[in-house]
Structure 1
Amino acid sequence: MVSTRPAREPAKPTRGGRWDRLGGVRGAALLTGTFVPLVVGGAAWLAGLATVADAAWAAGTVIAMIPAVWWVISALRRGRVGVDLIAVLSLAGTLWVHEYLAGALIAVMLSGGHALDAAAERRAARDLRALLERAPRTARRRCGETVQLVDLDEIAVGDILVIATGEVVPTDGRITSAVAVLDESALTGEPLQVERRAGEPVRSGVIDVGAMFEMRATATADESTYAGIVRMAREAGAATAPTVRLADRYAAWFLPLTLAVAAIAYWISGSLVRAVAVLVVATPCPLLLAAPVAIVSGLSRASRMGVVMRDGGALENLGRATTLVMDKTGTVTAGRPVVTEVAAAPGADPARLLRLAASIDQFSPHVLAQAIVTEALARGLELDVATAVSEQAGSGVTGEVGGHRVRVGKLPEDAATPEWARPVLNRARLDSAAVAWITVDDKPLGAVLLRDPLRRDAPRTLRRLREAGFDRLVMLTGDRPEPAREVATVLGLDEVCAEQSPGDKVAAVRRESAGPVTVMVGDGINDAPALAAATVGVAMGARGSTASSEAADIVLTTDRLDRLADAMDIARWSRRIAVQSATVGMALSLLAMVVAAAGRLPPAAGALLQEAIDVAVILNALRALRGNPAARPGLPPDTEDLLRRFAAEHETLRDTIASLRTVADRVADRSEDAPAALEALYRFLVEDLLPHERAEETQLYPALAGPLGGSEATATMSRAHGEIQRLTTRIGTHLELVHARGGLDPDQIDDLLACLYGLHAVLRLHFVQEEENYFALATDERR
């Protein structure tokens, strides 16, 4: 863990921030200091006090020149020639030729433009204070039979530390007690808690979510894993160079062109006034005003959609990004385990077993226990009052419910796996799912399978991101290769890197950032260094850590990945409007420069003309507030209601669909209760599933035809409905033969299994396709 000594603050903010710009109170003071002299000078001129008017206007010009000269010097120190140089030359020129009104007008435009720029670029400090605040300041060290509270700096290698429930492990070490149950999500991002037994290593930054345990320190606090993460985040941010903003890129060619036209005007006419007039109309207010207005408008629109961008540079960079690097857990997956199946022994009721398990687990803070309780409540099960509840870390929860002794968790070490559960364990292994056993009166009657599911909107969102301009999608995860490859296959990613430490993630992001603009998306503390290393860091801030949000350029305040695609659309549209406004404004300025070089436009009139150009380009830039009119319109409220209704029905039907495999397993084993199970399944198919599918066909799909551009968008789903009906009818025919023959004939087995397994596969694929393609379009009111 990190030391209690205060962290050294960086000398200046990291990439994208203009530390020498006047923002906040000083920016407002500059704007006031230039606007007031303009107004006072105007009043004096109307009163016939020409000398006072000139003095006021000259004062406003000088006030603007002081910071402008500093901005130019700062840019030159960084090897850049920005848009401010033209403004400084025009301000100085107006004073030199006594065109004080023109100078005052330019001063107001300059200060106003930089006030907008500062408003677009202000960002929160990225010193990762959350990491430091999360760190414990003390630790419990065992000395013989006593336990002392000591400062972290006093921990030495070999010390025995005592970690209580809920505490953060202060340094790296090895477990010395029997077992430790840990939440390692801060480091790995994985939501499932893990067990570490005596002799196994434990890293700093993880949380003890089980009973108290002891460990032997193998590193000091300053040399621990978590302290290294903090240092990497700081170094990654400091090593990332500031980006070149849109206005400066245009200034690279607009500046020499302006100076050339001014020089030609002076060479032809010998008049400094003409040269100054050229500089006045060339003052890059389309860059100083229009581009920031469009960017600020984009920032405002994004914030209304739950996307908070730290500055305009983040939006500009997002608008031209081509590589997306993302974490898995909490980013493309939900980040919390959910129940995927409740398997029961022959003759046992899955719903009753789930109710018993949830009645016990409601007293446990374990992440798997909470998932079981959530699933039971979602199914409308009424939980019982459990008594004599106790929890053994790493083993499970035990209690009394309705006169029965119920245990949820691991099977006792001396207990044999029941025969009926072998297919369940195979499925768990293949699906990378966790298993929680349900034991009633010392007899294992059920098993709950849990896994971290893919976000419903993830496939559709990644397709949208590819359409928006990302041509390379990479996933980094601390998870095992098998589930990582499965997710990558479903999402169509270009590359996946599994078992990645925070340092590995930083190295991978830096490799990708060596080329085009790279975006990194993550949600955990372990992602903070990688977010800081990317060109644009995006934090899933709704459930993500404060540290990842502090290290990011963009924070998604809602727990929805599709908001990143929305942000990409907004960024590209805003940047397009900014470029359009800047180029049109500069073209008009160029035309005015030619007129001024010909002596037809004096400086004061040129300044007023420049104001008119500014108004025109600002009004165009404000179009960014409305968003791209070509973007897909939202769904009608009635259609969204239908989507939510059928999405809720999916949740209700999902568990019974999983029972297709269970019934097939019983048919394959020729269990005595196979005909009864087949009968119950067929009744569900006819009375619940098929009516649901028919309602989708007649109500939902016609409602989606308009928003999706025609009935062809749902044609493949309609074909799936036909296949579901066909397989259900075939199962019904087999059931009639069972009734007629008084049981299952051997010659039915193969075809019946093909129907059951086939229907299970079709339904799973069909449900996933509907959820990704249609249900993800609706706003989830639960989020």
Structure 2
Amino acid sequence: MDIFRQHIANSLITIAGLGLLVGTALWWVDAVSYADLVWSVATVPILITLLVQIVNALRAGDIGLDVVAALSMSAALAFGEPLAGNVVAMMYSSGQLLERFAQGRAKREMTALMSRVAHTAMRYEGNALQEVAIAVIKPADRLLIRQGEVLPVDGCIASDVALLDLSSLTGESLPVKRERGGEALSGSTCAGPPFDMIATRPATESTYAGIVRLVAAAQASKAPLARMADQYALGFLALTLVIAGGAWLLSSDTDRVLAVLVSATPCPLILAVPVALMAGMSRAASMGVLVKGGGVLETLAKVRTVILDKTGTLTHGQAEVTEIKTSLAYDADTVLRLAASLDQASGHVVAAALIGEAQRRGLTLSAPQEVIEVPGAGLEGVVDGHNIVVGGNSFVRNRCKKGDDLVLLSTIDKTAMTVAVGVDGAVAGVIILADRIRSDAANALQALRDAGVAKIILASGDRQDIADNIGATLGIDVILGDLTPDGKVATVSAEHRNGPVMMVGDGVNDAPALAAADIGVAMGAHGTASSSEVAGVVLLVDQLSALSKAMTIAQRSRTIAFQSVSVGLGLSLSAMVAAAFGYLPPVQGALLQELIDITVILNALRALR
């Protein structure tokens, strides 16, 4: 359909251009009647096409300044000014091409995402490889990713190492190294040697498929500012008719009426706003921030209150071992190895953290035996002939009666996340873990304030003391802990009275609050699918600092959109007044209006920079 419309547009500008050239040549040799005929014939196809577009728009409940273009061409033919009609037809058809160029230029970074969808993949079938359509790939399938290939689905690295180009997802210019077990997102590119990958999601649920859906929805959306421009266009149409009618009443000069109409045609008020907003969305996408629509971009520019989740937003969302305190009988590696060996029988996230740390230290884990797990408390079992207990302080203390465990456990900060380890009835050590604050968190929050945010709130489901510690470190205005998902929604609702509210989170428990906010922002690089679906903004790059950059882009795009509307209105109105008083003939008015069109559109495209 787009190719057909492009063909029609090219044909129309060719007809108008040839008519203008041939008619001018005939006029030059004094064949005026033939010149008028050629100009008229060249105008009619453009006028008919325009009338069809207007009828279709009216059926859809839309009306705009295209009506003025049709009136001016019709009036030119009726009043015996075919040259003016041909000039308007030429300007209108060339304006259509200019509009398509501007919209295509503004969408470039966003549509580039959609062009990278993989269609096939190399899947292992036993010991052989077979090229299959990505639609048949299932979780747990083993795939071979060749150098230069785009990853077709989300998965985890099954080789020792993989080098991935994430530029299309996050804007990172340098390839990123991922080790065995690391995350591999669809849409990234193998920038190094081939590697094996285990699929974790089908193609329809993968990160890149979700991005493509979001981009399509963003491009199809219509922003409030764009709808406001439509309303301006309707008022401007009425004003055009009033000025044209006034010119006729004052002078009874059809040339003045025609000059007023062509001076208002085809002012791109309806186009300038969507071009500026699409340019802003495109610019944000190139920096790893996916904005789902022009309306979201507008609201992003006006946000004054930001509510932040803690885990995965201000912190990395993964517990890491920060310290191991031991009794005199054990060293840190021994305590960690025994605890991690027993934790191999547990599916708890803390167990995964201990196992991961042991593997990073190169420790050899033993198989646990006779394991008994008490959900939410800890587990006990046998490792290398020793009775091992791993869990909370009270759980371990109740099972260890030897040694000075009170002295060891009393040295631990009560706000820290701890795992106590007992060996053969005595407390052997305490492993301290933490969900580290992101290195860019403090600078990112300051950048939000610089972008106009007046109030920052931490809304966390963690204990209040942990939230207080994080909030005080980062200088957050209001710190709320122990919140349920409903509590986060209530926090968002309470802040609406202070202006547009933005909620930032990454988990399933954040989805209701993201939906309740004026703008929900999902940490999409590592967040859940549910949070990304309900959020208006998705951060594809795992950097909170990208959010303030997106706000700055949104503010600039909105300013440029308003500039385009006001400049277009002002210049067109001035030309119409001059035409009404006889200072601007029809042909010159049409040429001046085309110059206004070009100026307004080029101004809107500044949002790309």
TM class by smaller structure: 0.5 to 0.7
Residue 228 of structure 2 aligns to which amino acid in structure 1?
Answer: D
Flag structure 1 segments of 5+ consecutive residues without an equivalent. Answer: 1-24, 75-83, 125-240, 627-783
The amino acid across from 1:106 in the alignment is Y
Identity of aligned residues (%): 37
> Does 1:56 pair with 2:31?
no
**Corresponding residue of 2:73:** 94
Answer whether contact 1:34 1:63 (CA < 8 A) is retained: no
CA-CA distance at 1:275 after TM superposition: 3.8
> Is 1:39 aligned to 2:11, yes or no?
no
| Aligned-partner SS, 1:599 | coil
Hey, what's the Cα distance between the residues in 2 that align with 1:596 and 1:30?
A: 34
For the 8 Å contact 1:306–1:558, the answer to whether it is kept is yes
* Match in the other structure for 1:622: 605
Shift of residue 445, structure 1, vs aligned partner:
0.5
What amino acid sits opposite 1:287 in the alignment? L
Q: Give the partner amino acid of 2:52.
A: I
Does the alignment pair 1:244 with 2:224? yes
Structure-to-structure mapping, 1:72-471, within 5 angstroms: 73=61, 85-98=64-77, 99=85, 101-103=87-89, 105-106=91-92, 109=95, 113=99, 244-245=224-225, 248=228, 252=232, 255=236, 258=240, 261-271=243-253, 273-283=255-265, 285-362=267-344, 364-378=346-360, 381-389=361-369, 390=371, 392-394=373-375, 395-396=377-378, 404-410=386-392, 411-412=395-396, 413-416=398-401, 419-422=404-407, 424-425=409-410, 427-429=412-414, 431=415, 433-471=416-454
Offset at residue 601 of structure 1 (A) = 3.6
Q: Secondary structure at the match of 1:427?
A: coil
Find the aligned partners of 2:22 and 2:230 in 1 and give their Cα distance. 42
Distance 1:32 1:252, change over 3 A: same
In the alignment, which residue of structure 1 is the partner of 2:192?
none
Question: Cα distance, 1:34 vs. partner?
Answer: 4.8
Letter in 2 for 1:102: V
The residue identity in structure 2 corresponding to 1:298 is G
- C-alpha distance in 1 between matches for 2:465 and 2:353: 23
**Larger RCO of the pair (alpha carbons < 8 Å, separation 6+):** 2
The Cα of 1:622 is off from its aligned counterpart by 3.1
The aligned residue for residue 210 of structure 1 is none
- The CA deviation string for residues 730-770 of structure 1, in whole angstroms up to 9 with x for no partner, is xxxxxxxxxxxxxxxxxxxxxxxxxxxxxxxxxxxxxxxxx
Moved over 6 A (4+): 114-121
Question: Is the CA contact (8 Å cut-off) linking 1:30 and 1:64 kept in structure 2?
Answer: no
Range with greater deviation from structure 2 (96-105 or 520-529):
96-105
Going from structure 1 to structure 2, the CA distance change for 1:444 and 1:494 (only over 3 Å counts) comes to: same
Instruction: Please tell me the residue identity of whatever aligns with 2:462.
Output: D
Give the TM-score normalised by the residue count of structure 1.
0.53
Residues 401 and 425, structure 2, Cα contact 8 Å, conserved in 1: no
- State the alpha-carbon separation in 2 of the partners of residues 510 and 29 from structure 1: 48
Contact 1:345 1:421 in 2 (8 A): no
Equivalence for 2:55 = 66
SS of match in other structure, 2:351: helix
Q: Deviations over 1:454-501 (max 9, x none)?
A: 322222211110111011222333333332333333333333444433
**Match for 2:538 among 555, 563, 580?**
555
Q: Which residue of 1 aligns with 2:495?
A: 512
Structural RMSD (CA) = 3.8
Which string of whole-angstrom CA distances, capped at 9 and with x for unpartnered residues, describes residues 301-328 of structure 1? 2112211111222222212221222223
2: distance between equivalents of 1:456 and 1:37?
A: 57
Shift of 1:386: 0.7
- Evaluate the alpha carbon distance shift between residue 316 and residue 262 of structure 1 in structure 2; reply closer, same or farther with a 3 A threshold: farther
Contact 1:397/1:407 (<8 A) preserved: yes
Distance change in 2, residues 1:248/1:63 (3 Å)? same
Counterpart of 1:181 in structure 2 is none
State which drifts further: 342-351 or 419-428: 419-428
**Are 1:502 and 1:527, in contact at CA under 8 Å, matched by a contact in 2?**
yes
Q: Distance in 1 between matches of 2:98 and 2:497?
A: 36
Report the CA distance between 1:295 and its aligned residue. 2.4
| Paired AA for residue 558 in structure 2 | R
Alpha-carbon deviations, 1:631-683, whole Å to 9, x = none? xxxxxxxxxxxxxxxxxxxxxxxxxxxxxxxxxxxxxxxxxxxxxxxxxxxxx
In 2, distance between residues paired with 1:284 and 1:41? 16
Match of residue 538, structure 1, among 521, 541, 547: 521
Q: 1:528 aligns with which of 492, 496, 511?
A: 511
Please give the secondary structure, in 2, of the residue aligned with 1:475.
Answer: strand
Q: Output the CA distance in 2 between the equivalents of 1:582 and 1:107.
A: 21
Which residue number in structure 1 is paired with residue 468 of structure 2? 485
Displacement after TM superposition at 1:547 (Å) = 1.4
Give aligned pairs, total: 471
SS at match of 1:299: helix
In structure 1, what is the Cα distance between the partners aligned to 2:107 and 2:270?
A: 12
Residues 117 and 543 of structure 1: CA distance in aligned 2, closer, same or farther (over 3 Å): same
After the TM superposition, which residues 711-722 of structure 1 pair with which residues of structure 2 at under 5 Å, given as runs? none
* Pairing of 1:577-616 with structure 2 (within 5 A): 577-616=560-599
| Cα distance in structure 1, aligned partners of 2:295 and 2:48 | 33
Q: In structure 2, what residue type is equivalent to 1:88?
A: V
TM-score (norm 2): 0.67
SS at match of 1:448: strand
Letter in 2 for 1:311: G
Give 3-state SS (helix, strand or coil) of 1:85's partner: coil
Give the drift of 1:101: 4.9
After superposing the two structures, state which structure 1 stretch, 313-322 or 93-102, moved more. Answer: 93-102
**Which ranges of structure 2 fall in alignment gaps of 5 or more residues?**
24-37, 78-84, 112-220
Alpha-carbon separation, structure 2, partners of 1:488 and 1:276:
66
Contact 1:358 1:383 in 2 (8 A): no
Q: Secondary structure at the match of 1:334?
A: coil
2:422 touches 2:428 (CA, 8 Å); kept in 1?
yes
Write the distance in 2 (CA, Å) between the matches of 1:562 and 1:60.
48
How far apart, CA to CA, are the structure 1 residues paired with 2:436 and 2:263? 59
Contact 1:97 1:272 in 2 (8 A): no
Find the aligned partners of 2:59 and 2:107 in 1 and give their Cα distance: 20
